[in-house]
Amino acid sequence: MLDALKCCLPLMASKPSNTILKYFTALLGLRQPIVTKSILENLHAVGDSPTVQLKPDMLLDLMCSLGMSVSTERKSGDELASIARLLNIGTRKVYSQNKHIFVVKLPLVFTSLGDILASEFEEARFCAVETFKGLIDNCIDENMVSQGIDQIKARHKGVRSNPTVIEKICAILEGLLDVRCSDVWDKSFLVISLAFDTLGKYTAVFILILCVGIVLLVLSF
């Protein structure tokens, strides 16, 4: 049934497609590899379709559930690679429809990609790097960095606040250089250098936010 849906779902109207997405969320809770594989294939099908209009919050929740499962469930290399590719195409679809809700979840997506990068599977690692590149290029902008700068200035004046999105992202990127990623430090440096290139004149601020973000996340535990 699920296998047949991957051919039908991209052709369906928005309302029935969104109804099916709700059932996908419940099915993921079964934690059955065969079911998860079929859901991934269906999500790839709708993600690749330029005509399917899904509710961005529902699609994002599904992708986040799959992303979080990377650290909680044992997965094959093919599954990890598939999740990394889905986070690439799916997040672009969500971002184009509702930038705000996606940006809030961006640190979670980065964390999931970091877990995939730290895996032992080369194809999955490659897909994680490619998705990192796409997200850094398309989703980290001047406004996000400015918010981080404003928060740092406010804290310097004694205002208490939670880490901003860019601070969380910087801390996650720093985590790509820890021991668990030692086998892929070449890829980690590639991702971090791309972040430097994307920020351009804000590179020095990126380093500052990186350090502050790490401290704040440690203190939040």
Q: pLDDT-derived band of residue 113, with 50, 70 and 90 as boundaries?
A: very high
When pLDDT is averaged across residues 196-205 and rounded to a whole number, the result is 68
Q: pLDDT-derived band of residue 134, with 50, 70 and 90 as boundaries?
A: very high
Question: What is the DSSP-derived secondary structure letter of residue 221?
Answer: -
Residue type at 161 in one-letter notation:
S
Q: Are residues 179 and 112 in the same domain?
A: no
Q: What is the mean pLDDT of the chain?
A: 84
Domain end marker among 82, 115, 139: 139
Whether 13 shows a pLDDT value over 70: the answer reads yes
Q: Give the pLDDT confidence of 142-187 residue by residue, as tens digits.
A: 788 888 778 877 877 888 878 888 888 888 988 888 878 788 989 9
Segments forming the whole domain that contains residue 200: 140-221
Burial 156-188 (b: 16+ CB within 10 A, else e): eeeeeeebbbbbbbbbbbbbbeeeebeebeebb
Q: Give the pLDDT confidence of 54-101 residue by residue, as tens digits.
A: 888 988 999 999 999 898 888 889 999 999 999 999 888 898 889 899
Residue 112 confidence (pLDDT): 95
Residue 149's alpha-carbon distances to 34, 94, 142, 155, in angstroms, are 45, 26, 10, 10
Q: Are residues 153 and 108 in the same domain?
A: no
How many folded domains does the chain comprise?
2
Share of the chain above pLDDT 70, in %: 88
Tokens of 53: 């209009």
When pLDDT is averaged across residues 112-125 and rounded to a whole number, the result is 94
Q: Are residues 130 and 148 in the same domain?
A: no
Q: Are residues 114 and 215 in the same domain?
A: no
Q: pLDDT-derived band of residue 209, with 50, 70 and 90 as boundaries?
A: low
Q: Are residues 79 and 168 in the same domain?
A: no
Per-residue DSSP letters for 13-37? -HHHHHHHHHHHHHHHTT--HHHHH
Residue 131 confidence (pLDDT): 95
Q: Are residues 62 and 152 in the same domain?
A: no
Q: Are residues 112 and 18 in the same domain?
A: yes
Whether 23 shows a pLDDT value over 90: the answer reads no
Domain end marker among 111, 139, 167: 139
Q: Are residues 134 and 180 in the same domain?
A: no
Q: Are residues 133 and 151 in the same domain?
A: no
Q: What is the pTM of this model?
A: 0.85
Neighbours of 147 (CB within 10 A): 15
